[in-house]
């Protein structure tokens, strides 16, 4: 399965390689108290509700790292 910023946050967090990428660019994201509410939504959608905590720059870097996974 190819993961991207259009994958659900839950799928990204459940995969160790993509979870590491998220933590690299968004430190603490996997343990955020409200993370459960966003698990069913694409990361790109969650970013829109993050109040700027997940920037477009971070999304671009995450997407590049996810593509490098293959």
pLDDT tens series, the chain, 70 aa: 699 999 999 999 999 999 999 999 999 999 989 888 999 999 999 999 988 889 999 999 999 999 999 7
Residue 49, number of CB atoms within 10 A of its CB = 12
Whether residue 2 is contained in a domain is answered as: no
Number of domains forming the structure of the chain: 1
Residue 1 lies in a domain: no
Is residue 32 situated within a structural domain? yes
**Spatial CA neighbour of 5 closest among 56, 70, 49:** 56
Look at residue 4 and tell me if it is in a domain. Answer: no
CA terminus-to-terminus distance, the chain: 9
Determine the Cα–Cα distance for residues 10 and 22; give it in Å rounded to an integer.
12
Q: What CA–CA distance (Å, rounded) separates 25 from 39?
A: 17
Alpha carbon 31 to chain centroid, angstroms = 12
pTM value surpassing 0.85: yes
What domain range is 64 assigned to?
9-69
């Amino acid at each position: 399965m190819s993961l991207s910023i259009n994958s659900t946050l839950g799928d990204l967090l459940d995969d160790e390689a993509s979870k590491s990428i998220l933590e690299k660019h968004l430190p603490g994201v996997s343990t955020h108290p409200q993370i459960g509410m966003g698990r069913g939504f694409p990361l790109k959608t969650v970013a829109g509700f993050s109040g700027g905590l997940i920037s477009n720059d971070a999304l671009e870097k995450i997407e590049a790292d996810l593509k490098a996974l293959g």
